[in-house]
């Protein structure tokens, strides 16, 4: 009996030591699954200074049609990434034209092209998938498209999180189809002449809340996703119930600094008064998060849109954002 008890405690001690060696606790594992860098991009290097680092955010580079190759703007962004060497890159989805579950070979080719471009940046790239990755032609989520996304990008789930320095980074899947969405969020119940809204399921929201609860010690939490919670004119975003639920949830946490989305092919700052200019520096923890739209990585532009990417600089409790245009601002018609 003494040998059994002694062996039992030795086993517990070994397990605890293994967890400590990995730098994790059981509580740290609650919440979102680990988000991996996109296939072909490097692993995330350790922070040399946990309170001071730079990362780049962008999204919506998908071509105008499934017949077109990747656009020049996304190549330019990753050329800049290579020169600037940020800690990592966050992407707000629509990496491929997609939307064709009946032709998986073509989808595989589209991912291969994009991932080859992303790899040229030389840093880890993380993505929050959009409707072009997750949905079929009618913009309704599709299980085959989900499987193709996971296989091509080497992800376990279409959402997840990682920690870097003093901050936590959470990617959401805003074209979810888990569970039974309410009618207003159910893609199949929308009128044919309207664009269906995005949806985040209760299961994903539960993981999100657990992750937020487990990371209240972080200086900043950055949430990135495809469909905006606050977007330009409120068009084609998450369903209204999701918007209300998420805003109410985010009010409970003092360290959510930014929520960055794409989908609308433009840069937009709903905080104003400069709706198309960068927000003020984030210096006061406890305020509501800044909501930003960054969907200018090459997809056909929305009115008032311009091609761009964002540079985030974390300096302890302070965060600043720089909007980097790629060229002269132009306006073209676009579809989402």
pLDDT at position 14 is 41
Q: Is 272 left (phi over 0), alpha (psi -120 to 50) or beta?
A: left
Q: Is residue 5 part of a domain?
A: no
User: CB–CB of 167/314 below 8 Å?
Assistant: yes
Q: Is residue 238 part of a domain?
A: yes
Which sign, positive or negative, has the C-alpha torsion 172, 70, 106, 64? positive
CB atoms within 10 A of CB 156: 11
User: CB–CB of 97/65 below 8 Å?
Assistant: yes
CA-wise closest residue to 199 among 172, 234, 232: 172
DSSP structural state of residue 42: P
Q: Is residue 17 part of a domain?
A: no
- Which residues, in sequence order, are bridge partners of residue 205? none
Instruction: List the chain pLDDT tens, one digit each, 336 residues.
Output: 444 434 433 443 444 444 333 333 333 457 999 999 999 999 999 999 999 999 999 999 999 999 999 999 999 999 999 999 999 999 999 999 999 999 999 999 999 999 999 999 999 999 999 999 999 999 999 999 999 999 999 999 999 999 999 999 999 999 999 988 988 899 988 887 788 999 999 999 999 999 999 999 999 999 999 999 999 987 778 999 999 999 999 999 999 999 999 999 999 999 878 888 888 898 887 888 999 999 999 999 988 899 999 999 999 999 999 999 997 544 444 556
CB atoms within 10 A of CB 275: 12
CA atoms within 13 A on the CB side of 322: 10
User: CB–CB of 292/257 below 8 Å?
Assistant: no
d(CA 208, CA 192) in angstroms, rounded, equals 32
Q: Is residue 58 part of a domain?
A: yes
Q: Is residue 178 part of a domain?
A: yes
Q: Is residue 15 part of a domain?
A: no
Domain limits for position 89: 31-325
Task: Give helix then strand counts, H and E, for the chain.
Answer: 7, 11
pLDDT at position 133 is 98
User: CB–CB of 226/130 below 8 Å?
Assistant: yes
- DSSP element (H, E) containing 104: helix 104-119
Strand 167-171 with 89-91, pairing: unpaired
Burial of 329 from C-beta contacts in 10 A (0-12 / 13-18 / 19+): middle
| Tally of domains within the chain | 1
pLDDT at position 148 is 98
User: CB–CB of 246/255 below 8 Å?
Assistant: no
CATH code for the domain of 221: 3.60.21.10
Q: Is residue 305 part of a domain?
A: yes
Q: Is residue 332 part of a domain?
A: no
pLDDT at position 336 is 60
């Amino acid at each position: 009996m003494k040998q059994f008890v002694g062996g039992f405690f030795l086993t517990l001690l070994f397990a605890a030591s293994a967890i400590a060696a990995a730098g994790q606790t059981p509580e740290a594992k609650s919440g979102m699954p680990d988000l991996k860098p996109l296939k072909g991009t490097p692993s995330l290097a350790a922070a040399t200074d946990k309170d001071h680092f730079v990362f780049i955010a962008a999204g919506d580079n998908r071509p105008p049609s499934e017949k077109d190759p990747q656009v020049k703007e996304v190549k330019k962004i990753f050329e800049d990434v290579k020169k600037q060497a940020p800690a990592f890159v966050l992407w707000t989805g629509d990496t491929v034209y997609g939307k064709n579950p009946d032709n998986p070979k073509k989808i595989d080719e589209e991912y291969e092209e994009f991932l080859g471009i992303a790899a040229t940046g030389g840093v880890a790239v993380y993505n929050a998938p959009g409707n072009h990755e997750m949905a079929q032609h009618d913009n309704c989520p599709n299980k085959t498209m989900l499987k193709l996304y996971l296989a091509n990008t080497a992800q376990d789930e279409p959402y997840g999180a990682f920690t870097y320095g003093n901050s936590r980074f959470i990617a959401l899947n805003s074209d979810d189809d888990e569970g039974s969405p309410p009618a207003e969020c159910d893609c199949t119940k929308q009128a044919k002449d309207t664009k269906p809204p995005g949806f985040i399921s209760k299961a994903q929201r539960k993981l999100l809340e657990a992750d937020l609860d487990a990371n209240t010690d972080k200086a900043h939490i950055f949430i990135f996703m495809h469909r905006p919670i606050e977007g330009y004119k409120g068009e084609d975003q998450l369903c209204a119930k999701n918007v209300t639920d998420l805003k109410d949830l985010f009010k409970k946490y003092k360290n959510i600094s930014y929520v960055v989305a794409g989908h609308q092919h433009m840069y937009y700052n709903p905080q104003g008064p400069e709706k198309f200019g960068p927000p003020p520096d984030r210096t006061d923890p406890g305020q509501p998060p800044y909501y930003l739209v960054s969907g200018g990585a090459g997809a056909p532009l929305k009115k008032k849109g311009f091609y761009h990417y964002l540079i985030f600089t974390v300096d302890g409790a302070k965060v600043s954002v720089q909007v980097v245009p790629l060229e002269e601002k132009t306006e073209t018609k676009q579809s989402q």
